[in-house]
Amino acid sequence: MQTGASGSSFASAALCCVAFGLLVAEILLSSILHVLIGPGNSAAAIALALLGLSAAGIAVLRVPALRDPERLERGLPALLAGYSAASVLAVFAIMAVPLNHVDLAFRAGSAAAQAWRALAVAAALLPFAAGGLVVAALLSAHARGVARLYAADLAGAALGCLAAPRLLELLGAPLGIALAALPAAGVAALAALGPGRARRSHAWLALLPLGLVLLARPWPELIGFKRVNSMGAVEAPSYRSVALAPGDLEFERWDLSGWTIVRAPHVPQQWEPFRGWGLSETYHGPVPETRLINFDAQFSTFATASRGSSDADLAELAAWLDADLGSTHHQLGRRFERALVIGAGGGREVLAALRHGARRVVAVDLNAAVVEELMQRRLREFSGSLYLDPRVEAIADDGRSYAARTRERFDLVEFGIVGGMLVEKMDLVRVDDLFTQQAIASYLARLEDAGVFSYLMYTLRGDRLEELAAREVVPSAPYIPALRTLVGLREALALRTPGARFAEQVLVAGLRGRVHPGYDLVHIAASPTPFSAAERAAFLRVCRELRFDAIHPAPEGSAASLYTRAIETPDLARFSDALPFRVRPATDDAPFQYSLGTAQLARAARAGQLGAALAGNPLISLGASLGLVALLLVGAPLFGTSARAARASAPLLGVFACLGFGYMAVEIGVLLQLQLFLGRPVLGLSVALFSFLLWSALGARLCARIPEQSLTRALSIAALGVVVLGLAHQALAPPLFAAALHWPVAGRAALAAAALLPLALPMGIFFPGAIRLLGPAASDLVAWAWAINGCFSVIGIFATRVIALFAGFQRSVWLGLAAYALIALLLPLQRRAARS
């Protein structure tokens, strides 16, 4: 056993630390880039950075010195310190970019904004490329001990899942990334000072990243965002970029739900002057003071100044609360004693419910910083202790999951502008499932018979929507959450109250040009009990008095809008298929808001615009660009000196491709099933992904125990085993999780971790097993195998989502399992190729 700097103990420690730092960087960089260059660009940058990890494998393959064990032993401390310093420098570089994501949306033509974006993306590549060098070099130099090394790599990533949310909350994203890169520098110092042949002078290099991190203490502005934005008035939005100076933020908190800030009063706010999003233009009464709480410099909620939440205090706010589009349902005469407000934020809907006599309000919001830190502490006095009122239960949790888990029934289930992501979320453990068909049905299941489901959201302007609806093909799926939720409510209510007329169960009102000139703010109130003639008359009166557009029921003589057609059409399926975009809500299995249905794709194909229709979807355009880069990366060595060695190991290299793709496809599909079950995103990361990686690490260690002569056979059996276990998991997990949905959080976490074991453990065996099968060629080809595995992992992430876009996640898991079945076929081929 080697004892020097690149000896197996140091190598394992180094890999563990690098994998730890990279996983933390992946999650935290994504949060930073959301704010800096926007969610779409962020997803692209992170995916490309992951390809940087694989590109390093190609570099190690082409530069033999990088994988020479002796040279690696001497140079490992420098490589590790280089990775650590690259991570810290990348953070400094990215945080120095004077950009706010909106600069790219509203100044798309600005060359400066484009250049800054390119710099941010290039800087994000640095830690991954440098970390990839360490991993590929160590795996190449220690191909024989690969089981142990790979297990250390997976274990490091698993620890990263545990640490990332804590680092994010304690230190913020920039410092969190920098700190997570320091353990690698520590191993560098130990390796340099240890008994091997590493250069002692390299120990000093390890101090470089530490020194850089310490710089951030006296100068925190070095790692703070440089710009935010302001949109002016809600009724007449006008973008401007705003420089941030020290002291401009009164409150700043990072967590998995994003970057939450409260700007100091002297700083331009996200909206100003701010009176509320849905306030009627006819309202000229007093407007209470509000504090805007801003997420990712994009979305906001607000806390309302109040002396308290007694009837007298609420009466002072009554006129302002009631003049809002989001309060229409409170003025029909129905009483809502128990209300569930999802996405409660700063509590406007909570105030309105209390004002109208609610005796119990459950206020759920995903953002713990808002619920716990702001509303219950810092803004407690300002908000009149609203979230500490005995009638209010404020809970930081995922609203969809909470609604599925609670047994309580409510008179009102309310969403006041919740959601709003235009691009599909692309993280590994979560998707946007807040308004899927199943979600809407589960909210209605919490509703009493006379209860009301209230939904307020901005959506593409009605007149533009009509224009699009008249076209044969649209360039990209329009942003129409309110219309889709309306259709979802119709379908869900038809199941709950068969025979009832939906047209009598729903009221829809709107306000034009709020928040964006291209949008309407739309309010939907729906109930299993039809609205009476008196209630509908009250609705029309409120709309008339407050000058809201009564969309349904519409005043007599109005033209039928797409909303009224969706409400009244006798054949909803036919109506939906006749449109050039989908109006039915997404499903839990395919929770994509911008997918095109088969009917729409067929129309696009007939019009010769299939390519454009597909490219209009961000997942497809990004997946295609990434796929091309990935294939060029892994294919490049075929034209070099490695081609001959590659021919002899071609089936095995195919195994690495299947493995990269299959692991991701199965992992993503299986983890997403846990979203509803576990709830909060932190559990998705620190329970689901953590245990998945840990079980796979255990599988990798077990691989070392398989004797050489039976390795091919064992791996083939294991591959078929994964297929069987995967299918069993798909069949058994949903009823198991449904039965345990009401368990306390610790029980659910334990069950989720245990349920992943049978599948994730064997999935960890293959990478080290296949490296062992490379035999004498291993030291030359490991780096390539690593690159192939990495590139196909990234392809797998996108392919899984693109397949799910059309066919659902369940089928994308099947495709992942098919990749494992292919492994079982390729392994015997390799044995034959090796013999010949």
| Backbone region of residue 343 per phi and psi (left: phi > 0; alpha: psi in -120 to 50; beta: other values) | left
Peptide bond into 478 cis (omega under 30): no
Task: Give the separation between CA 599 and CA 584, rounded to whole angstroms.
Answer: 12
Query: Tokens 């039809």, residue?
Result: 530
Tell me the closest approach of the beta carbon of residue 687 to another protein, in angstroms: 30
Residue 421 sits in the site that holds another protein (CB under 8 A): yes
Q: Which x/- pattern over 548-587 shows residues binding another protein (rule: CB under 8 A)? A: ----------------------------------------
Work out how close the CB of 218 gets to another protein at its nearest, in angstroms, rounded to a whole number: 33
Q: Give the strand pairing for 249-255 and 237-243.
A: unpaired
Q: Which of residues 517-536 bind another protein (CB under 8 A)?
A: 518-519
Instruction: Give the binding range for another protein (CB under 8 A) out of 49-57, 194-202, 658-666, 703-711.
Output: 49-57
Cβ 37 to another protein, closest distance in Å? 9
Structure tokens at 584: 């039915």
Residues 414, 364 contacting (CB under 8 angstroms): no
The secondary structure element, H or E, covering residue 341 is strand 338-342
**Nearer Cβ to another protein (104/216):** 104
Nearer to another protein, 117 or 253 (CB): 117
Check the CA dihedral 787-789-794-795 and report its sign.
positive
634 is an interface residue for another protein by CB under 8 A? no
Residues 237-256: x/- map of binding to another protein (CB under 8 A)?
x-------------------
State which residue, 385 or 625, has the beta carbon closest to another protein: 625
Measured between alpha carbons, how far is 767 from 146 in angstroms, rounded to an integer?
9
Should residue 478 be labelled a site residue for another protein when binding is judged by CB under 8 A? yes
Pick one of 2, 8, 9, 59: the residue that binds another protein (CB under 8 A): 59
Report in angstroms how near the CB of residue 50 gets to another protein at its nearest.
10
Contact string 595-624 vs another protein (x = CB under 8 A) = -----------------x--xx-x--xx-x
Q: Is 51 in the site for another protein (CB under 8 A)?
A: yes
436 closest CA partner among 596, 573, 589, 581: 589
| 325 counts as binding another protein under rule CB under 8 A | no
> Dihedral (C-alpha) 167, 169, 170, 171: value to the nearest 10 degrees?
70
Minimum distance, C-beta of residue 476 to another protein, in the bound complex (Å): 5
- Residues 786, 618: contact at Cβ < 8 Å? no
- Residues within window 119-148 making contact with another protein, judged by CB under 8 A: 121-122, 125, 129
- Tell me if 798 contacts another protein by CB under 8 A: no
Work out how close the CB of 422 gets to another protein at its nearest, in angstroms, rounded to a whole number. Answer: 4
User: Using CB under 8 A, which of 2, 9, 376, 476 touches another protein?
Assistant: 476
Classify burial at 406, counting beta carbons within 10 Å of its beta carbon; exposed 0-12, middle 13-18, buried 19 or more.
middle
- In terms of CB distance, is 425 or 496 closer to another protein? 425
Closer residue to another protein, CB minimum distance, 352 or 540: 352
Find the binder of another protein among 41, 260, 269, 304 (CB under 8 A).
Answer: 41
Which of 118/243 has CB closer to another protein?
Answer: 118
The 3 state secondary structure assigned to 662-724 is HHHHHHHHHHHHHHHHHCCHHHHHHHHHHHHHHHHHHHHHHHCCCCHHHHHHHHHHHHHHHHH
The answer to whether the beta carbons of residues 331 and 534 sit under 8 Å apart is no
Radius of gyration, alpha carbons of the chain: 28
CB of 753 to another protein, least distance (A): 35
Query: Which residue lies nearer to another protein by CB, 115 or 214?
Result: 115
Rounded to a whole number of angstroms, the minimum distance from the CB of residue 58 to another protein is 6
Check residue 626 for interaction with another protein (CB under 8 A).
yes
Rounded distance between C-alpha atoms, residue 696 and residue 714, angstroms: 16
Q: Is 115 in the site for another protein (CB under 8 A)?
A: no
Contact present, 131 and 55 (Cβ < 8 Å)? no
Q: Contact with another protein (CB under 8 A): which of 9, 68, 98, 105?
A: 105
Q: How far apart are CA 331 and CA 285, in angstroms?
A: 18
Among 7, 38, 183, 816, binds another protein (CB under 8 A): 38
State how far the alpha carbon of 229 is from the alpha carbons of 104, 106, 234, in Å. 12, 11, 14
Query: Considering beta carbons, is residue 299 or 575 the nearer one to another protein?
Result: 299
Near another protein by CB under 8 A: residue from 23, 89, 102, 682 = 102
174-233 residues near another protein, rule: CB under 8 A: 231
Sorted by sequence, the CB contacts under 8 Å of residue 548 that are 6+ apart come out as: 280, 325, 328, 509, 510, 511, 523, 542
Q: Considering only 243-251, 472-480, 656-664, 714-722, which stretch makes contact with another protein by CB under 8 A? A: 472-480
Burial class (CB in 10 A: 0-12, 13-18, 19+), 295: buried
List the one residue from 360, 516, 565, 811 that touches another protein (CB under 8 A). Answer: 516
Residue 299 interacting with another protein (CB under 8 A): yes
Q: Verify binding: residue 809, another protein, rule CB under 8 A.
A: no
Is residue 633 part of the contact set for another protein (CB under 8 A)? yes
> How many Å from the N-terminal Cα to the C-terminal Cα in the chain?
33
Positive or negative torsion for Cα 395, 398, 399, 405: negative
Rounded least distance, CB 491 to another protein, Å: 24
Give the Cβ contact number of residue 16 at 10 Å: 25
According to the binding rule CB under 8 A, does residue 635 interact with another protein? Answer: no
Distance CA 162, CA 279 (A): 43
Cα–Cα distances (Å) from 505 to 455, 499, 567, 750, in that order, read: 14, 12, 10, 42
The region of 47-55, 150-158, 580-588, 674-682 touching another protein under the rule CB under 8 A is 47-55
Q: Comparing C-alpha atoms, which of 479, 537, 477, 478 is closest to residue 507?
A: 537
Distance (Å, whole) CA 374 – CA 293: 9
Q: How far is the CB of 126 from another protein (least distance, A)?
A: 9
Choose between 108 and 559: whose C-beta lies nearer to another protein: 108
From 214, 628, 638, 732, residue interacting with another protein (rule: CB under 8 A): 628
List the one residue from 83, 259, 336, 479 that touches another protein (CB under 8 A): 479
Subset of 391-420 contacting another protein (CB under 8 A): 417, 420
Instruction: Note whether 83 and 210 are within 8 A (CB).
Output: no
Tell me: does residue 458 bind another protein (CB under 8 A): yes
Query: For residue 378, with 0-12 CB atoms within 10 Å meaning exposed, 13-18 middle and 19 or more buried, which class applies?
Result: middle
Q: Collapse the DSSP code of 235 into the 3-class scheme (helix H, G, I; strand E, B; otherwise coil) and give the result.
A: coil
- Interaction with another protein in 253-292: which residues (CB under 8 A)? 270-271, 277
Cβ(771)–Cβ(636) under 8 Å? no
- The stretch near another protein (CB under 8 A) out of 42-50, 145-153, 199-207, 700-708 is 42-50
CA 460, CA 517: separation in Å to the nearest integer?
A: 9
Nearer to another protein, 40 or 131 (CB): 40
Q: Which of 440, 465, 459, 435 is nearest to 510 (CA)?
A: 459
Q: Smallest distance, Å, CB 223 to another protein?
A: 24
Could you tell me how many residues of this chain bind another protein (CB under 8 A)? 62
Task: Specify the stretch interacting with another protein by CB under 8 A; choose among 12-20, 117-125, 572-580, 698-706.
Answer: 117-125
Question: DSSP string of 108-168?
Answer: TT-HHHHHHHHHHHHHHHHHHHHHHHHHHHHHHHTGGGHHHHHHHHHHHHHHHHHHHHHHH
- Contacting residues toward another protein, per CB under 8 A: 38-41, 44-45, 48, 51-52, 55, 58-59, 62-63, 101-102, 104-106, 108, 118, 121-122, 125, 129, 231, 237, 270-271, 277, 298-300, 417, 420-423, 458, 460, 464, 475-476, 478-479, 515-516, 518-519, 612, 615-616, 618, 621-622, 624-626, 628-629, 632-633
